[in-house]
Chain A
Amino acid sequence: GAVVSQHPSRVICKSGTSVKIECRSLDFQATTMFWYRQFPKQSLMLMATSNEGSKATYEQGVEKDKFLINHASLTLSTLTVTSAHPEDSSFYICSARGAGMADTQYFGPGTRLTVL
């Protein structure tokens, strides 16, 4: 199956700093990438959808100025959590979907963010 990677796998940062998470599709071109967030014992919640070369579409309640998403190429999307606070601590997961793959979404392994 298609492979999606994320980096870093876990990050610890101080409150007020910014953190960038990378999501890469390794063996296919991802026309659309998605960012999800998952709090402990909860299901995945979609944060935003991004298409290559265009601005991301954010779900209701997700601050676009706080969670900056860039999808500059067909294999890379980045999520930057700006001015992180402890309540932003969560498991962030990206997924990717490419044309010609029956539109199946493939997920990355996730990034565990801890804000102190």
Chain B
Amino acid sequence: DAKTTQPPSMDCAEGRAANLPCNHSTISGNEYVYWYRQIHSQGPQYIIHGLKNNETNEMASLIITEDRKSSTLILPHATLRDTAVYYCIAYFNNAGNMLTFGGGTRLMVKP
């Protein structure tokens, strides 16, 4: 799986959009971009994933650049409960593969 690079930490004001960047310049054509988050002392929570097109669900939006070398996870209206470590993972989701976690971005949402 391709390596991803994320800033180690970010702050965001409550109620504002949180934009979390991820670089994956060596991503291959069949690798998806997955986002998970881990709130303190809990297991990771799946957020969203995409291949080429932008994706949106009830939790977040995922914007993938046309060359697929980077992406941005957007939490449209961050709340204090969104404070967590966010992991961006490039992953080829077939039966033989597994997720590999890097350092992630520690997002602190402040009142």
Contact = CB atoms under 8 A, between A and B. Distances in A.
Contacts, number: 53
Contact of A104 (B42, B46, B94, B102): B46
Interface residues of chain B: helix, strand, loop or mixed (majority): loop
A110 B46 contact: no
A108 B49 CA distance: 19
Interface residues of A, number: 26
Interface stretch (A11-19, A43-51, A68-76): A43-51
A67 interface: no
B88 to A, nearest CB: 12
Contact of A107 (B41, B43, B94, B103): B43
Contacts of B46: 1, 104-107
A77 interface: no
Contacts of A44: 38, 44, 101
Given A1-B46, A43-B101, A104-B49, A32 B95 contact: yes
A102 B93 contact: yes
Interface of B: 34, 36, 38, 41-46, 49, 87, 93-95, 98-104
